[in-house]
Amino acid sequence: MCSVLFDNCWTARSGVNREAMNDLDKNMYRLWLRKGLEKPGKSQRGLAKVLKIDPMAVSRLVAGTRRFQLDELPKIAYYIDEPLPEIGLPLKLSSTTSRGICVMGRVSSKTWQEGDVDLGEIAGVIDRRFPIEHQRAFLVDENMPNFNVTNGSYLVCVPYGAYGHYATSGALCVVEQARDGLKNYTLHQVGQKLAPGHELTWLVMGII
């Protein structure tokens, strides 16, 4: 489950390769499927017939409790008449380097901190697009089921201003809010409207 798979995980016709399937952003694909099934004449039962699976299995796909299978994606795209979405960041990462990167804060809807804090270091991630010296990390301080991120995970990030062009719709970003000398960091998906006073500051390139 290495981030370098990102560059090679699409082919022109067949979509995602088998190795990259473990790193699919389930939320992105679930939203893609829901959008397609909202079209007139499309239904979970109709898709189940196309995929030759039980309608309850389609219901679990929509709910995010069943994994998309490699051979199902082109069939789903054909049925809902929607192109396969691009794989975006972040990926689940395990390919790390011995060089450390600074953990500079906690991501939580409830935690406010005085500027950037030093929470130690974790190993940086090997990815030729994102130099190790530009990487920083955030400690996730609460479970975030909407983003498939769990308490205690680390978000490996790069500055959004420099690397935001890598972000596809649905990619995760760390949003900063400042108030009375304090900072609050929360997660946000690219494409969603930002609340006043919030700023996209870090692009999440992976989760450890």
**Amino acid of residue 180:** D
The answer to whether the pTM exceeds 0.85 is no
Q: What is the pLDDT of residue 96?
A: 56
Q: What tokens does 186 get? A: 């929360």
Q: Please state, in angstroms and rounded to a whole number, the distance separating the CA atoms of residues 54 and 43.
A: 13
Fold (CATH) for 3-80: 434 Repressor (Amino-terminal Domain) (1.10.260)
Least confident interval from 3-7, 59-63, 109-113, 157-161: 3-7
Q: Are 119 and 96 in contact (CB under 8 A)?
A: no
Q: What is the pLDDT of residue 25?
A: 53
**Quick one: what percent of the chain has pLDDT higher than 90?**
30
Q: What is the pLDDT of residues 162-188, one digit of tens each?
A: 988 888 778 899 999 988 889 999 999
Would you kindly state where each structural domain of the chain is located, as residue ranges?
Answer: 3-80, 91-207
